[in-house]
């Protein structure tokens, strides 16, 4: 059921092995010779065959980033690994190896055909990322639990399944169970499933399937709700106001405030806290709603900027294309005239004129690029001023609202201190109407103790407010800086790329002229 290490040494997947395999499978004859001379880039390889090579470990495949088909069957591989960069892989054959666990496939989101035939696998799992999976071969393994079949229900594209040679294939209900739980399956163990078998299987397992569908629907609803919550949270994070649409900040102030929680038992403090919380949450909601509106304005500003840049580049490119088209029309005509000319002085003169046309085109294209650079520089600078102003105004207004939160906290602190000292005086005089619970009673030793307790609670609250404000300001400033830096860097890269394109084109045209041989012309 598995391959053992025979007399051959276990092999390492190194560059030499990979180059040899690519060379063997590459184009032959003239194209193959050219490829060998110039070298084949691994990133250009679409199919790779590495079977029967005694490979023990998958390694060094990170350069094959565009690979579509990988054949690793009939080796001695023990672990699925080293495939994380092969995100374009569609077909993977790992049959006839010594693999015990399905793993290492999380990035292969485009995989459609997977063969793990003849290994040591006992459980079907860790395939969740393979949403496009159509063909799964797991025959001749050690799978013995029919519940593994239920796991495969999540793969909506799965049409072909092979499990023969596993302990579960010996079960009396094997075929019916699979047909019932995987109703979209077309082929099982290399045989087409007929409609009559599907109907019998559905009838036999109807109750269990209905119950499973109900559980799956509930799970799907929960997943959708969780996904919606996460998307909403990401939207709030983008606006830098997450968790400000409620009492989260207020609750966090008391989460670690043991003294404040003790003081909440004092007579009159419950009503004070309730009023404080209501006002505090209103301010948080104001920050939250303001943040979402400002985020929408920033998005509009960024979208408008991106559209302006795109239009400017597109218009500039169109002008460049027109100039090149005009040049090429004239250039081809000039080359034809040169070939028809028999007088050498005239040929030399015409070549010089063509060379002058090439230089003129270069100057025109570079002038266009310089105009675009100046236009985009002005647009970028204007956007930078606008976005910095928007961020500055947002921070200023948020800080003003946060100051209101601090004012509320200061007011609450004063009121709480008054109640605490008044309670202490009543305790001393014996005028307190009812005994305090043990928790707050421990604070009423003397005035210093109660003042320190109220002060400690106040400090915790202010620190929470300050930290949330600092976090918001730091994050939006960092976002603004990164955005502006990226825009400037992208423009520099665009300009360099365009200048390189112009130079390459002009060099090519000039090279054509330089290589023009008089003997060929005269012939």
Identify the pLDDT of residue 372.
Answer: 96
Residue 219 has pLDDT above 80, yes or no: yes
Whether 104 contacts 77, CB under 8 Å: no
Largest CA distance in the chain: 127
Report pLDDT for 331: 86
How far are the Cα atoms of 154, 347, 426, 440 from residue 431, in angstroms, in the given order? 70, 120, 5, 17
DSSP H or E run through 163: none
Contact assessment for residue 6 and residue 53, using Cβ atoms and an 8 Å cutoff: no
* pLDDT of 1 over the 60 cut: no
Residues whose CB is less than 8 angstroms from the CB of residue 78 and which lie 6 or more positions away in sequence, other chains included: 56, 57, 97, 98, 99, 100
- What is the pLDDT at residue 266? 85
Alpha helix (H) residue ranges in 106-188: 147-151, 174-181
* 222-240: average pLDDT: 94
User: If pLDDT is split at 50, 70 and 90, which confidence band does 34 have?
Assistant: very low
User: For the segment 35-65, what is each residue's pLDDT rounded down to a tens digit?
Assistant: 444 456 788 899 999 999 999 999 999 989 9
Average pLDDT, integer, range 227-253? 95
Query: What integer is the mean pLDDT of 241-262?
Result: 92
- pLDDT value at position 196? 93
Who has greater pLDDT, 267 or 302? 302
In contact, 125 and 147? CB cutoff 8 Å = no
Give the tens place of pLDDT for each residue, 62-120.
989 999 999 999 999 999 999 999 999 999 999 999 999 999 999 999 999 999 999 99
Q: Of 4-13, 404-413, 496-505, which gets the smallest average pLDDT?
A: 4-13
Domains, the chain: 11-142 (3.80.10.10), 247-520 (no CATH)
More confident residue, 37 or 211: 211
Among 4-18, 140-154, 222-236, 378-392, the minimum mean pLDDT is found in 4-18
How many residues make up the chain in this entry?
523
User: Cα(138)–Cα(120) distance, rounded to whole angstroms?
Assistant: 10
Is the pLDDT reported for residue 518 higher than 60? no
Query: In terms of Cα–Cα distance, which of 175, 295, 184 is closest to 235?
Result: 295
pLDDT for 287 beyond 90: yes
Burial, 292: exposed, middle or buried (Cβ in 10 Å; 0-12, 13-18, 19+)?
middle
pLDDT in tens, 328-368: 898 888 888 887 877 888 888 888 888 899 999 999 999 99
Tell me what pLDDT residue 43 has: 85
Q: State mean pLDDT over 485-494.
A: 96
Percent of the chain predicted with pLDDT > 70: 93
- Measured CA to CA, the distance from residue 479 to residue 34 in angstroms comes to 49
Q: What is residue 26's predicted lDDT score, i.e. its pLDDT?
A: 66
Establish how many alpha carbons lie within 13 A of residue 93's alpha carbon, considering only the half-sphere containing its beta carbon.
Answer: 14
pLDDT grade for 433, boundaries at 50, 70 and 90: low
The label of the residue with tokens 């730091």 reads 474
In this predicted structure, the answer to whether residue 428 has a pLDDT above a threshold of 80 is no
- pLDDT at site 420: 87
């Amino acid at each position: 059921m598995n391959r053992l290490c025979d007399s051959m040494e276990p092999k390492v997947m190194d560059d030499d092995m990979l180059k040899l395999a690519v060379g063997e499978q590459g184009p032959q004859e003239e194209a193959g010779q050219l490829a060998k001379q110039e070298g084949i880039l691994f990133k250009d390889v679409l199919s790779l065959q590495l079977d029967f090579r005694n490979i023990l470990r998958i390694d060094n495949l990170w350069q094959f980033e565009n690979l579509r088909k990988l054949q690793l069957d009939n080796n001695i591989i023990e672990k699925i690994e080293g495939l994380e960069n092969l995100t374009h892989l569609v077909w993977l054959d790992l049959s006839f190896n010594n693999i015990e666990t399905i793993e290492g496939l999380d990035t292969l989101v485009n995989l459609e055909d997977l063969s793990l035939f003849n290994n040591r696998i006992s459980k079907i799992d860790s395939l969740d990322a393979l949403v496009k999976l159509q063909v799964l071969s797991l025959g001749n393994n050690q799978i013995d639990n029919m519940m593994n079949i239920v796991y495969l229900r999540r793969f909506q594209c799965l049409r072909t399944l092979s499990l023969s040679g596993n302990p579960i294939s010996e079960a009396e209900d094997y075929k019916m169970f699979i047909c019932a739980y995987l109703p979209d399956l077309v082929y099982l163990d290399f045989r087409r499933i007929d409609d009559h078998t599907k109907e019998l299987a559905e009838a036999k397992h109807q109750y269990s399937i209905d119950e499973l569908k109900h559980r799956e629907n509930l799970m799907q609803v929960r997943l959708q709700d969780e996904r919606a919550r996460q998307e909403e949270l990401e939207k709030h994070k983008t606006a830098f106001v997450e968790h400000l649409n409620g009492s989260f900040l207020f609750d966090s102030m008391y989460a670690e405030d043991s003294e404040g929680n003790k003081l909440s038992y004092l007579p009159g403090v419950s009503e004070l806290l309730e009023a404080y919380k209501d006002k505090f949450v209103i301010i948080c909601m104001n920050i939250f709603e303001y943040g979402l509106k400002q985020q929408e304005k920033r998005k509009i500003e960024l979208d408008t900027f991106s559209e302006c840049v795109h239009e400017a580049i597109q218009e500039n490119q169109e002008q460049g294309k027109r100039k090149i088209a005009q040049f090429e029309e004239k250039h081809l005509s000039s080359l034809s005239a040169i070939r028809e000319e028999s007088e050498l002085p005239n040929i030399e003169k015409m070549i010089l004129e063509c060379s002058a046309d090439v230089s003129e085109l270069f100057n025109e294209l570079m002038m266009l690029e310089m105009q675009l650079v100046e236009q985009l520089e002005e647009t970028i600078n204007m956007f930078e001023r606008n976005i910095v102003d928007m961020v500055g105004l947002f921070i200023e207004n948020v800080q003003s609202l946060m100051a209101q939160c601090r004012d509320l906290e200061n007011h609450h602190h004063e009121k709480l201190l008054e109640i605490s000292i008044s309670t202490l005086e009543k305790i001393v005089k014996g005028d307190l109407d009812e005994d305090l619970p043990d928790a707050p009673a421990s604070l009423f030793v003397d005035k210093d103790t109660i003042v320190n307790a109220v002060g400690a609670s106040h400090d915790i609250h202010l620190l929470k407010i300050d930290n949330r404000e600092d976090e918001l300001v730091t994050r939006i400033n960092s976002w603004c800086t990164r955005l502006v830096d990226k825009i400037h860097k992208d423009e520099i890269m665009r300009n360099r790329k365009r200048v390189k394109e112009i130079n390459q084109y002009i060099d090519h045209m000039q090279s054509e002229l330089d290589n023009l041989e008089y003997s060929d012309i005269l012939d």
